[in-house]
Amino acid sequence: MQKIGVFVCHCGTNIAATVDVKKVVELVRYEPGVVFADDYMYMCSEAGQEKIIEAIKEYGLTGLVICSCSPRMHEKTFRACAEKAGLNPYMVEVANIREQCSWIHKDREEATKKAVILARAAIAKVNLNTPLKEGESPVTKRALVIGGGIAGIQTALDIADAGYQVDIVEKEPSIGGRMSQFDKTFPTLDCASCILTPKMVEVNQHPNITLYTYSEVEKVSGYVGNFDVDIRKKARSVDFDKCTGCGECSTKCPLGKIGKIPSEFDRGLKNRPAIYMPFAQAVPAVPVIDRENCTYFKTGKCGVCAKICPSKAVDYEQKDEIVTVKYGAIVVATGFDIINLDKFGEYAYNESPDVITSIELERLMNAAGPTGGHLERMSDHKQPKDIVFIQCVGSRCDSEEKGKPYCSKVCCMYTAKHAMLIKDHWPDTNITVFYIDVRTPGKNFDEFYRRAVEQYHVNYIKGQVGKVKPQPDGSLMVQAADLLDGKQINMKADMVVLAAAVEPNPGVRKIATMLTASIDNNNFLTEAHAKLRPVESPTAGIFLSGMAQGPKDIPETVSQAGAAAVKVIGLLAKDKLKTNPCTAQCDTLLCNGCSTCANVCPYGAITYDDVQVMDHGLRETRRVAQVNLALCQGCGACTSACPSGAMDLQGFSNRQITTEVDAICR
Amino acid sequence: MQELIDRLKELIADGTIVRAIGWKKGDMPYNPEPAYFTEAEDFDDFVYDGFCGANLSKMMIEAGKLEGKTAVCLKPCDTYSFNQLIREHRVNRENTYIIGVGCRGKLDIEKARKAGIKGIKSISGVEIEGDGDVVFDTIYGEKKMAYKDLMLDRCHVCKGKEHVIYDELIGQSQDTDDADRFEEVRKIEAMTPDERFAYFKTELSKCIRCNACRNVCPACSCRKCVFDNTKFDSQQKANVDSFEEKMFHIIRAFHVAGRCTDCGECSRVCPEGIPLHLFNRKFIKDIDDFYGEFQAGKDPEAQSPLTDFTFEDLEPKDAVGRGDK
């Protein structure tokens, strides 16, 4: 029989305001196995832990139930505390009476009742707990960064500078990401390329960094410290070692002249050949052939690039290649794109070439862009005189169908930037910005916005645009409401710029699934703790960097990239990791050998062996499951898939769980 | 039938097999029973006709452990069960000689009883090779019934006349499929939750826990069933109400989900006539809807959608609330 101590935490008023902690103590005192029960203001504090240690010694406790916050918060704390007093740390159970009880209930009586029930379940479980011992697993000293934008670049550089090997996997032909498409960056207006390109070059030349561009993560297995990742290197059709990056092939590609393939990098404002580098400063400076559009791949005729290439680098026979690499840690830096605007028909984005998104405007103002940095209307190549900016297109949107509930965070600042850059370029331009709120928290941010209003006389109007109507004369009619003056506005514009909401790169869903990293309703990756572990995924060994985790600007992205790198370095610096002792075990007498568990095991931890068993006097050779404890992560998938109940999880056995349920239903 | 007997005798005589699993005459003409045949004279009692509904594939779990090869007579639908058992490593294929036997649909004596046929002395017209009506010689005189009208419900949703695994085929099979497999399931889905619960409560209240459904089910092949295992507290738990005992069937349906080939043996053997196959068929329909059509046992290599993961899998949010429809 266990001797169980129950400790009920007030958590200041977090728990005590809603749950009658004294009553909980009184009621659980007589539960089977309980020999001691007490409450305290802050159980996790030094004094609180001291109380626990004293009780263990005085009453010879063999098991502990801590009624407090979630186990994710303080289970480690209390396990360490038990260990200090000589108790096996796995003899501790946490009953979550804060997040699952006091925080979500208002009625004191009901909440108290529930707290008692949760405590009872934990007590019932501890009665069946057994001491468990952690094992050890090695750490592969190499990190993978998925995504080669500024987030991925910075994370990789920081890890590489600390002396660890890093691989970057980027699905596009070049690293650089969104930032490479931008013109200038707020609030200092440095040229994006000027600050990004050196970093791209550094990545390319760093002895500790391996680049996999035009590549995608195909499969991930393993666990923290020991991931196995299959990377698909898509066929570039150009020999990496032979190519000098002279660009002759792109210049001579007949499709470049016909101009039917819209350039992804220039957001479709310009066309590109079938063999191309996305932009002049691409890293690596090796072109790819877009096989879907290339005449040679479609008809077998052409072959101009192969003929023209001075170094004979074009290779039509190249095939996709899959490489498998071991990693200790993985960083997700898959970035963002803007939402599709098909559902915003009122802004006439699909009707008029002069209604553009802000990212398209970046390209139109970029010296390397389709117009050579000369801002003009796409319809008639004339200088726009009146420009209207519409904020929050799809951001802070009530309709889940249409847009996103969150603030995209970067639009207010880049719109102020755009307005000032345009005024610098064409000082006689009239610029009007329609906004819901102007949000400019951040160092030198509000000053930046005020400069747009006060020095550049940009006309900011609080109000939303109802409709943009293309006119027969080629102009655009903007119908809007001025909320401060309470007036309807009809305004003629030559160009309308939409601040479209950002959203995580659509590919992140697949990657998150492969990594078993959780994502929220908006497909942003979830942090292990919103405040205290913001760059870690709840899945051990997976870290988050950049927009993939939530909307943020470049300075924030770079800081977060550094933070993620530090967490990775902290992990890779260890030689061994403690493994979770809550692993699966197979009862060979019950095992049917059906392989169902091996099929569902995400870690490949289950194998089958023919073993001799003695089943009640019957000696037989049977095919039975064997769990590799070093690989098992204790997810429990096998235990629920096993039809005969042969698979069981240490620390979360079927009996323990049914006992908990029984205690709750009592 | 004679061809089958001759061939089995021949296989034993030439040493290909040591024994055969087939059906032998029962105490009445409509209840033959599964049996082992080893000696020539055993075959005097061998029978294979329209009443041989029993799926013999599960018997190979034990027979496969015996010394020497065993021949097993499998109807087209039974081969699906056998394939599923191969997939789960429960049978020894090397030790099995599969005779794919012909089938024109299996018969249900209850259908005759419902039609008022009593006092049966003998039955003719139930041969596999025949195509006429079934003739009952009863103490009240001769009665006739069309073969189709006497067929088990499951044979009206037949999986087809092809054997999916065999070593040799004896006899012709016919497609007897003439009904909508999921019609009954749809009827139950259309009920309100209260109606549905009342329906199953009534049906399951007949259950006497004889375990016939479990014992006959080829998917219920665990060495030790969880319901017999003292390792779990549920086994010794007192029931809090009369329905709790019936959870047996619901848990059983979950355990065979994705593995059940819809052979219909559970409903055939139930002495209380509970339509147990409906639970399994509901799972099959849901699996088809959620993951695309899947037939357990069709391909021994194929993963069950429930224990396999693909990126195209249904999102939980799309499955939630579906039962309310």
pLDDT, tens only, A558-617 = 999 999 999 999 999 999 998 889 999 999 999 999 999 999 998 889 999 999 998 888
* A-B C-beta contacts closer than 8 Å: 60
- For the ranges A158-172, A218-232, A623-637, the maximum mean pLDDT occurs at A158-172
Do B172 and B184 sit in the same domain of this protein? no
**Which range marks the domain in which residue B47 is found?**
1-106+158-179
Q: What is the mean pLDDT of residues A136-149?
A: 96
Do B313 and B263 sit in the same domain of this protein? yes
Do B227 and B168 sit in the same domain of this protein? no
Do B173 and B236 sit in the same domain of this protein? no
pTM exceeds 0.90 for this model? no
d(CA A272, CA B316): 41
Reply yes or no on whether the pLDDT at A456 is more than 60.
Answer: yes
Nearest CB to B307: which of A592, A596, A645? Answer: A596
Do B171 and B224 sit in the same domain of this protein? no
Q: Report pLDDT for B232.
A: 74
C-alpha dihedral over A419, A420, A424, A426, to 10 degrees? 20
Do B169 and B217 sit in the same domain of this protein? no
- For B279, the enclosing helix (H) or strand (E) is helix B277-291
Q: Report pLDDT for B310.
A: 82
- CA pseudo-torsion sign A612, A614, A618, A622: negative
Do B231 and B166 sit in the same domain of this protein? no
Q: How far is B315 from chain A (nearest CA, A)?
A: 11
User: In whole numbers, what is the pLDDT of chain A averaged over residues?
Assistant: 95
The pair of three-digit structure tokens given for residue A357, joined into one six-digit string? 């998104």
- Summarised one tens digit per residue, pLDDT across range A356-376 is 999 999 999 999 999 999 999
Select the residue from B307, B315, B320 to test the A interface by mutation, using most A Cβ atoms within 10 A.
B307
- Are residues A592 and B222, on separate chains, in Cβ contact within 8 Å? yes
- Are residues B231 and A658, on separate chains, in Cβ contact within 8 Å? no
List residues in chain A touching B: CB distance below 8 A. 510, 513, 587, 589-596, 599-600, 608, 615, 620, 623, 641, 643-645, 654-655, 658-659, 662
Do B170 and B220 sit in the same domain of this protein? no
Q: Closest Cα partner for A476 from A333, A552, A377, A365?
A: A377
CATH assignment of A142-234+320-335+505-572, among 2.40.110.10, 3.90.1150.10, 3.50.50.60, 3.30.70.360: 3.50.50.60
Residue B303 contacts A where some CB pair is shorter than 8 Å:
yes
Q: Which residue is associated with the tokens 């296989």?
A: B11
Q: Report pLDDT for B234.
A: 65
- pLDDT confidence of A468, banded at 50, 70, 90? very high
* End-to-end CA gap in chain A: 21
3 state SS of A229: strand
- Summarised one tens digit per residue, pLDDT across range A109-118 is 999 999 999 9
Q: Would B138 be classed as within a structural domain?
A: no
- Summarised one tens digit per residue, pLDDT across range B228-269 is 888 776 666 777 787 888 889 999 999 999 999 999 999 999
- Summarised one tens digit per residue, pLDDT across range B154-207 is 999 999 999 999 999 999 998 888 899 999 999 999 999 999 999 999 999 999
Cα-based distances in Å from A15 to A69, A107, A119: 9, 12, 14
Do B217 and B265 sit in the same domain of this protein? yes
Start-end of H helices in A139-247: 150-161, 192-205
* End-to-end CA gap in chain B: 49
Task: Please determine whether the domains at A4-126 and A142-234+320-335+505-572 fall in the same fold group of CATH.
Answer: no
Percent of chain A residues topping a pLDDT of 90:
91
Q: Report pLDDT for A302.
A: 93
C-alpha dihedral over A271, A277, A283, A288, to 10 degrees? 130
Residue B229 contacts A where some CB pair is shorter than 8 Å:
yes
3 state SS of A257: helix
Reply yes or no on whether the pLDDT at B324 is more than 60.
Answer: no
Q: Report pLDDT for A166.
A: 98
Cα-based distances in Å from B245 to A56, A551, A584, B229, B248: 43, 54, 30, 16, 6
- Are residues A644 and B233, on separate chains, in Cβ contact within 8 Å? no
Nearest CB to B226: which of A599, A615, A645? Answer: A645
Do B166 and B261 sit in the same domain of this protein? no
Q: How far is B6 from chain A (nearest CA, A)?
A: 35
Q: Closest Cα partner for A536 from A571, A504, A499, A506?
A: A571
Look up the CATH architecture of domain A584-649: 2-Layer Sandwich (3.30)
Closest residue, chain A, to B91 (C-alpha): A594
- SS3 string of A462-475? ECCEEEEEECCCCC
Phi, psi (degrees; rounded to nearest 5) at A552: -160, 160
**Residue B50 contacts residue B103 (beta carbons within 8 Å):** no
Cα-based distances in Å from B155 to B144, B287, B301, B309: 20, 22, 26, 33
Q: What is the mean pLDDT of residues A635-644?
A: 93
Q: Report pLDDT for B235.
A: 67
As for how many domains chain B has, the answer is 2
- Are residues A590 and B223, on separate chains, in Cβ contact within 8 Å? yes
Asked which of B147, B179, B211 is the last residue of a domain, the reply is B179
Give residue A270's identity as a one-letter amino acid code: K
- CATH code for residues A337-503: 3.50.50.60
Nearest CB to A658: which of B87, B89, B234? Answer: B234
Q: Would B133 be classed as within a structural domain?
A: no
Domain boundaries in chain A? 4-126, 142-234+320-335+505-572, 248-308, 337-503, 584-649
Q: Report pLDDT for B322.
A: 59
Reply yes or no on whether the pLDDT at A105 is more than 90.
Answer: yes
Q: What is the mean pLDDT of residues A248-266?
A: 91
Residue B317 contacts A where some CB pair is shorter than 8 Å:
no
> CB burial class (10 A; 0-12, 13-18, 19+) of residue A614?
exposed
Reply yes or no on whether the pLDDT at A290 is more than 50.
Answer: yes
Set of chain A residues whose Cβ sits within 8 Å of the Cβ of B234: 658
Closest residue, chain B, to A596 (C-alpha): B307
- Summarised one tens digit per residue, pLDDT across range A490-544 is 999 999 999 999 999 999 999 999 998 989 999 999 999 899 899 999 889 999 9
Question: Is the CATH number 3.30.460 carried by domain A4-126?
Answer: no
Start-end of H helices in A32-134: 46-59, 71-84, 108-126
Do B165 and B203 sit in the same domain of this protein? no
The residues pairing with A329 across neighbouring beta strands, listed in sequence order, are: A143
- pLDDT confidence of A399, banded at 50, 70, 90? confident
- Summarised one tens digit per residue, pLDDT across range A182-210 is 999 999 999 999 999 999 999 999 999 99
- pLDDT confidence of A640, banded at 50, 70, 90? very high
Reply yes or no on whether the pLDDT at A339 is more than 50.
Answer: yes
Q: Report pLDDT for B321.
A: 62
**Residue A465 contacts residue A434 (beta carbons within 8 Å):** yes
**Residue B106 contacts residue B128 (beta carbons within 8 Å):** no
The 8-class DSSP code of residue A101 comes to I
Q: Which of residues 256-275 of B touch A (CB under 8 A)?
A: 256
- pLDDT confidence of B325, banded at 50, 70, 90? very low
Do B214 and B323 sit in the same domain of this protein? yes
